[in-house]
Amino acid sequence: MRTLSVFNHVSLDGYFVDRAGSMLWAKPGAADDEWDAFTRDNAAGDGVLLFGRVTYDLMNGYWPTPLAMERDADVAKRMNDLTKVVFSRTLRAATWANTTLVAGDPAEAIARMKAEPGPPMTILGSGTIVAQLAQAGLIDEYRLIVNPILLGDGRTLFEGIPEPIALELAHTRAFKNGNVLACYRPAPP
């Protein structure tokens, strides 16, 4: 059975986007060779990337550009080469290389995909999709990068979840730039 994880940056006060809907605050901060290696290694893995329309538009607007290749060629190449799925009821076509558009219910589509053989899947950004899939019990691991910044307002990844979802800590890792990776899995019932 395939696994599904979430990989997102969050502010110390729990937001994944600021009040303007931007994720530009999630920058590496001070120079940190360990963080740079983690980012490269993370992008080097196999798998399928999943997005909602807003995150897809942001990623598609950057990674296939010459600027992305100039700034971080290894990550840009990997982002462009990986298989991607975008969930949207409004997008008419997915133009980024290796992308499939799914217009139906994300939870139904993911349940089907998890039952099929294939590589692991990772959701980037996409708070609405994360909340829907968390509520449906389809997420196997939450990998959150806690950034040392307070935003004061924005959106959380889990808006609209009607009941608490118990998680257990799988592992953590702190970086010199102040970012902390916190990994959680659903707690056993």
Tell me the per-residue pLDDT of 65-101, one tens digit each, with 9 for 90 and over. Answer: 999 999 888 889 989 999 999 999 999 999 999 999 9
Decide: 87 and 52 in contact? Cβ < 8 Å. Answer: yes
What is the domain count for the chain? 1
Q: What is the pLDDT of residues 28-48, one digit of tens each?
A: 677 788 988 888 777 666 799
- For residues 142-166, one letter each, b for 16 or more C-beta atoms within 10 angstroms of the residue's C-beta and e for the rest, the string is bbbbbbebebeebbbbbeeeeeeee
Residue 102 is given by DSSP the state E
Q: Give the pLDDT confidence of 91-107 residue by residue, as tens digits.
A: 999 999 999 999 999 99
pLDDT at position 141 is: 97
Domain that holds residue 177: 4-186
> What is the pLDDT confidence band of residue 184, given thresholds at 50, 70 and 90?
very high
Please, are residues 154 and 23 in contact by the beta-carbon 8 Å criterion? no
* Predicted confidence (pLDDT) per residue in 143-161, tens digit: 999 999 999 999 999 998 9
